[in-house]
Amino acid sequence: MGLDSFIFKISRPEHLDKECYSVKEIESLGLTSIALHSMAQGNKNNLHSCAKECSVENLYYDLEKIRAEYSLSENAYIGAFLGDGSIVVTDFTDSGDSTRVSISKEAIKGKFILRQTDRCYVFRREKVQQWYKNYPISNFFAMRVGPTENTVYYPVDEELASEFNDCFNENIPTKAMPEGTGLFYYEWF
């Protein structure tokens, strides 16, 4: 794992006329949703003009139920998501000892899924460019937009795109985007 940097083209979806969608419906439309309660205010402000706000029924791991079922403390957390769909929940005692519990995909689906309807930003996200462990690019954006944070979308206007292209010999779009659409820098690590 390491730093992945992206330029995304994000646009407000058309034809979302229902007030509430399931997360599967959103994904089947090729859209992305982010629960507003999990977003920092700056991220909300950045995405506001390119997203539609609506309710989405999301699926969460029911950590309270997992903790009760396996006699774990309230500090237990999901420490690993495995490729087969299972998870590993980690708990630490006051003495520093740890307990790890593996839970299969089947057990999760059968007992430990919580359905919750959240107000979300919903948008179409197209990858324009991606870089792996390119710290000079990360530093470039940190110097222009302030310290960058994991999974926050930072607007890239025409001037910033042009400066970026000049510095890195890249070719991200420099033309103004239509209303409801924008370019964004994003990091995931």
**Of the given ranges (14-18, 56-60, 105-109, 175-179), which has the lowest mean pLDDT?**
14-18
Q: Cα separations (Å) of 151 from 5, 18, 39, 154?
A: 10, 27, 9, 10
> Rounded to whole angstroms, how far apart are CA atoms 6 and 151?
10
pLDDT of residue 2: 66
Tell me how far apart the alpha carbons of residues 4 and 10 are, in angstroms, rounded to a whole number.
Answer: 18
For residues 112 and 28, what is the distance between their CA atoms, to the nearest angstrom? 24
- The pLDDT of residue 165 is 98
Whole-angstrom distance, CA of residue 189 vs CA of residue 4: 6
Q: Residue range 104-122: average pLDDT?
A: 97
Q: What is the mean pLDDT of residues 106-133?
A: 97
Q: In this structure, are strands 181-188 and 4-11 parallel, antiparallel, or unpaired?
A: antiparallel
pLDDT of residue 67: 97
Contacts of 123 (CB under 8 A, 6+ apart): 10, 11, 12, 13, 31, 32, 47, 50, 51, 52
Mean pLDDT over residues 1-28, rounded? 92
pLDDT of 184 strictly over 90: yes
Beta bridge partners of 88: 80, 102
Q: Which residue has the tokens 């919750």?
A: 116
Beta-bridge partner residues of 9 = 126, 183
Distance CA(15)–CA(168), nearest Å, equals 38
Q: Tokens 């940190």 map to which residue?
A: 142
pLDDT at 94: 82
- pLDDT category of residue 95 using cuts at 50, 70 and 90: confident
Average pLDDT over residues 129-158: 95
Task: Give 31-90 pLDDT, tens digit per residue.
Answer: 999 999 999 998 999 999 999 999 999 999 999 999 999 999 999 999 999 999 999 999
Give me the residues paired with residue 55 across strands: 20, 119
Does residue 189 have a pLDDT over 70?
yes
Given a contact cutoff of 8 angstroms between Cβ atoms, the answer to whether 123 and 49 are in contact is no
Average pLDDT of the chain is 95
User: Binning pLDDT at 50, 70 and 90, where does residue 1 land?
Assistant: low
Question: Mean pLDDT, to the nearest integer, of 163-169?
Answer: 97
- pLDDT band (50, 70, 90) for residue 93: confident
Give the CA angle between residues 67, 71, 74 to the nearest 5°.
45
Say how many C-beta atoms besides its own lie within 10 A of residue 103's C-beta: 20
Cα distances (Å, whole numbers) of residue 115 to 56, 119, 159: 10, 13, 43
pLDDT for position 133: 95
